[in-house]
Amino acid sequence: MIDMLNLYLSFPYVQRAIIVGVLIALCSSLLGVTLVLKRFSYIGDGLSHVAFGAMAVAGILRLSNDMLLVLPITMISAILLLRSGRNTRIKGDAAIAMISVGALAVGYLLLNLFHTSGNLSGDVCTTLFGSMSILTLRPAEVWLCLGLSIAVMILFFVFYNRIFAVTFDEDFARATGTRADAYNLLIATVIAVIIVMAMNLVGSLLISALIIFPAMAAMRLFKSFRSVTICSAVLSVCCALAGLLISILAGTPVGSTIVAADIAAFLACCGVVKLQRRTV
């Protein structure tokens, strides 16, 4: 088995997949706590459906690098969804449901009408569940992913204290002169970037899992914001690595294997907490 792993790891496309996969997992875990506690998790879910619709359009247009279309569309939707969350006339969650299901339906419809490849259901399945698309990344996409994940990490690092403040108590932050709206916008845009990147790794239906599971698991174990953030990043990277290696060896789909690893890590953390309580 070790020999087989060594063989696979010597292929450059496998090495690229592992580097990109680990970076994407790291980025997506950083904003998990914020997403969960600001009740933004539904925005993440809605955006992933929008990204699917955009991906379908990009496929029809035969763009060489579909991220160039998917990324701006998802970012604009993130900003719109954030605005509509405060709109009282159409309730925020209803607006998100409408946009996300709408994008899903229109995306599939367009794919059906204009499909260019012979294997329609295979294409759809790849976009929804990721399957092997991480292994077929072109060098340009790899560089884009690298650049974006470094940008996300730098943004998170520089604005760490602001993100904490805006997540913990938005009114207080605003009252002491922090531009909370600007930071909400920043958070939503970064989420959009993460979702577009993560589509390559786990597919659009499973992205929320990648963002939320590590954060929820870390929140069971740790008590400070900093240790929760670090723990969720470590967990997410380990699960992504384990999921990638297992899927390469066992031939299972990459996305669902990674998410299964995330679920296992979450359950393990719950178990650890239960055991701690019993011994105290």
Q: Which residues here bind another protein, judged by CB under 8 A? A: 33, 37, 157-162, 164-165, 167-169, 171-178, 218-219, 222-226, 228
d(CA 168, CA 162): 10
16 or 38: CB nearest another protein: 38
Question: Closest separation between CB of residue 226 and another protein, Å?
Answer: 7
Dihedral sign for Cα 172, 174, 178, 183, please: positive
CA 123 to chain centre: 20
Question: Closest separation between CB of residue 231 and another protein, Å?
Answer: 10
Question: Closest separation between CB of residue 171 and another protein, Å?
Answer: 6
4 or 150: CB nearest another protein: 150
**Assigned token pair, 206:** 């499973």
Question: Closest separation between CB of residue 236 and another protein, Å?
Answer: 16
d(CA 131, CA 97): 25
d(CA 215, CA 255): 18
52 or 225: CB nearest another protein: 225
**Assigned token pair, 229:** 């953030």
Number of CB atoms found within 10 A of residue 101's CB = 12
Question: Closest separation between CB of residue 60 and another protein, Å?
Answer: 43
224 or 279: CB nearest another protein: 224
- Residues 264 and 142 sit within 8 Å (Cβ to Cβ): no
13 or 164: CB nearest another protein: 164
